[in-house]
């Protein structure tokens, strides 16, 4: 399934909608303005919170926790020492961790589990707009991957207006 997201997604306190490739609203992301550290609610279009995203303040490098209810479903962490490419780990409980690697400044990267491609993020699909696409393989947790994409965008394109 393909989704469409705005470039430079998050500015402090911004809310935005993630759309399907057909332009239908799929998810809503609500930025929390008055909080210590970055916090977001990832909602369905009925207002039900699917994932709560919060920044870990005392961490080595940009680190965010993703929670479903009170359950930690993933920790997204930017690898500090990498050569040639920026890399993020998406540490999920159990053996199914993801790695996102590529050119984050150009919005061109892949999510992989072991050596298997599970999602791609590309601005090429919408080259003339301020959007980029996220193509997620069938059977994958779209909400986890989209929430991780939001986190990666926040870490790679910080809002300097705060």
In a domain, 161, yes or no: no
pLDDT at 132: 82
In a domain, 26, yes or no: yes
* Each residue's pLDDT tens digit, 40-92: 899 999 999 999 999 887 767 679 999 999 999 999 998 876 566 678 999 99
Tally the domains of the chain. 1
In a domain, 8, yes or no: yes
Distance CA 73, CA 130 (A): 30
How many Cβ atoms from other residues are within 10 Å of residue 37's Cβ? 11
In a domain, 19, yes or no: yes
- Domain with residue 45: its CATH number is 2.40.160.200
Higher pLDDT, 10 or 14: 14
Distance CA 106, CA 7 (A): 10
In a domain, 40, yes or no: yes
In a domain, 162, yes or no: no
In a domain, 23, yes or no: yes
What residue numbers bound the domain in which 152 lies? Answer: 2-156
Residue 142, pLDDT above cutoff 70: yes
Which SS3 state, helix, strand or coil, does residue 77 take? Answer: strand
Higher pLDDT, 154 or 136: 136
pLDDT at 103: 82
Side-chain half-sphere CA neighbours of 143 within 13 A: 19
């Amino acid at each position: 399934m393909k989704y469409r997201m705005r470039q430079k997604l998050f500015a402090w306190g911004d809310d935005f909608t993630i759309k399907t490739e057909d332009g239908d609203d799929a998810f809503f992301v609500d930025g929390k303005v008055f909080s210590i550290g970055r916090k977001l609610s990832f909602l369905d279009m009925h207002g039900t919170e699917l994932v709560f995203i919060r920044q870990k303040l005392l961490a080595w490098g940009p680190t965010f926790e993703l929670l479903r209810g009170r359950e930690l479903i993933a920790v997204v962490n930017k690898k500090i020492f990498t050569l040639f490419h920026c890399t993020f780990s998406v540490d999920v409980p159990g053996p199914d961790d993801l790695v996102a690697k590529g050119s984050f400044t150009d919005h061109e990267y892949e999510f992989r589990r072991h050596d298997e491609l599970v999602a791609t993020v590309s601005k090429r699909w919408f080259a003339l707009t301020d959007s980029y696409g996220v193509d997620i393989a069938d059977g994958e947790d779209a909400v986890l991957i989209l929430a991780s994409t939001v986190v990666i965008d926040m870490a790679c394109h910080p809002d300097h207006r705060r």
